[in-house]
Amino acid sequence: MNSPLEGGCTLTGALSVTTEIEGAVTVIHGPAGCAHHNFSLFHALCAGRDDPVLPAIVSTDLSESDIIFGGEESLERTIREVAAAGNCSLVCVLQTCVSGAIGDDVDSVCGEDYGVPVVPIPTAGFLGGGFHDGHVRALLSLVPPARGGKKTISANIVGEKTLEFEREAHYGEVSRLLSAIGVPVCTRFVCRSSVEGISRLPQGAVNILRDPSMVAVGEHLEAEFGTPYVSSFPLGPSGTICFLEELGEILSLDVSTAVAGEEARQERIFWEFRHLRGERIRFGEASGHADSLGACREIAEAAGMAIHPSGRQVPVPDPFPVGTGGIRKVLSLWRRACRARV
């Protein structure tokens, strides 16, 4: 599934982060409607993944009189209720258009003592951006305070698109590549993380961003903890090799064996698909980002396919499958397209 990257509402973007955190409850400060349709969306997604967990979302359920007299009391009451219900290790507070427009002082309400950490995330619905902005702001708001924790040779995975169907496959491929160079994952910020996991963020020696749209988060973490970042998951054959080399450089590791192993693996895949040699293809109109297109060209070339305007149209998958494993997925898709009789 494609996530609505640019449009939509900051609330949904932020929820894509906060609902991933184990033990966290998200309070949506606004009318029930804002929570309702988001709840439905996340619920449907979980169900689609055979993941029967209900998203932990609570609405402050503002009524007209809250709009007129201010919604701060409702917010405080709701946070207290959530905290008192126990079994919650973090409360995230998101604003909607309405609470943003009437100017509730959410930060100071969140600053009270509730016995549980409460993190306000500046969203305010449509105010100040869309889905992507909400995603980034949620991550920035959740960055743990720098504690003296020592860095270890390990990597953090930062800014995964939690609503992507393929996210676990992407993650699996990246962690396979990491283990090939002997680097464990320190924490995922924030796919399926716990509060404890998030607090380990400063200990990672490198941050691997999901894609370049997360650079703002990478920059912030670098300024905060001095952790360098790699700006994207690897795409395509040379992208995957460069990824390993870049990590080797940052972490001062010799990655030549891993690189050789990966190159051999890629060779095997191209051999597996040798029957595609000589096929004439072209890429679909709606093809995604420049990076994906570059990776497509490289894969086609290495597979001995010819890119030609009159060739058979093949898809450029979005999200583009990651790493060497992704090459096989792309080639299988193309094989299907080439074999389809029109």
Binding site for another protein (CB under 8 A): 64-72, 101-104
Shortest Å, Cβ 44 to ligand SF4: 16
3-state secondary structure of 58: strand
Q: How far is CA 244 from the centre of its chain?
A: 20
Judged by CB under 6 A, which of 97, 195, 201, 208 binds ligand SF4? Answer: 97
User: Strand runs (DSSP E) across 60-203, as ranges?
Assistant: 90-95, 118-121, 152-158, 185-189
CA distance 182 to 198: 22
Judged by CB under 6 A, which of 16, 78, 96, 193 binds ligand SF4? Answer: 96
Q: How far is CA 88 from the centre of its chain?
A: 23
Q: Which structure tokens are listed for 290?
A: 């420049």
Judged by CB under 6 A, which of 14, 15, 21, 34 binds ligand SF4? Answer: 34
The H or E element that residue 98 is part of is helix 97-102
- Residue appearing with tokens 């619920």: 43
CA distance 131 to 241: 32
Residue 102 contacts which entry, another protein, ligand SF4, none (Cβ below 5-8 A, type-dependent): another protein
Shortest Å, Cβ 7 to ligand SF4: 10
CA distance 120 to 86: 19
Residue 55 contacts ligand SF4 per CB under 6 A:
no
Judged by CB under 6 A, which of 9, 181, 295, 303 binds ligand SF4? Answer: 9
CA distance 192 to 11: 19
The H or E element that residue 107 is part of is helix 106-110
Task: Tell me whether residue 9 or residue 17 sits nearer to ligand SF4 (CB atom).
Answer: 9
Task: Tell me whether residue 42 or residue 233 sits nearer to ligand SF4 (CB atom).
Answer: 42
Q: What share of the chain is helix, strand, coil (3-state, %, to 5)?
A: 50, 15, 35
Residue 104 contacts which entry, another protein, ligand SF4, none (Cβ below 5-8 A, type-dependent): another protein
9: left (phi over 0), alpha (psi -120 to 50) or beta: beta
Number of residues that bind ligand SF4 (CB under 6 A): 8
Task: Tell me whether residue 102 or residue 251 sits nearer to another protein (CB atom).
Answer: 102
Task: Tell me whether residue 71 or residue 120 sits nearer to another protein (CB atom).
Answer: 71
Task: Tell me whether residue 78 or residue 232 sits nearer to another protein (CB atom).
Answer: 78
Write the DSSP symbol of residue 273: T
CA distance 277 to 271: 10
Judged by CB under 6 A, which of 32, 70, 89, 126 binds ligand SF4? Answer: 126
Shortest Å, Cβ 67 to another protein: 5
Q: Which residue is nearest to ligand SF4 (CB)?
A: 125
Residues that bind ligand SF4 (CB under 6 A): 9, 11, 30, 34, 96-97, 125-126
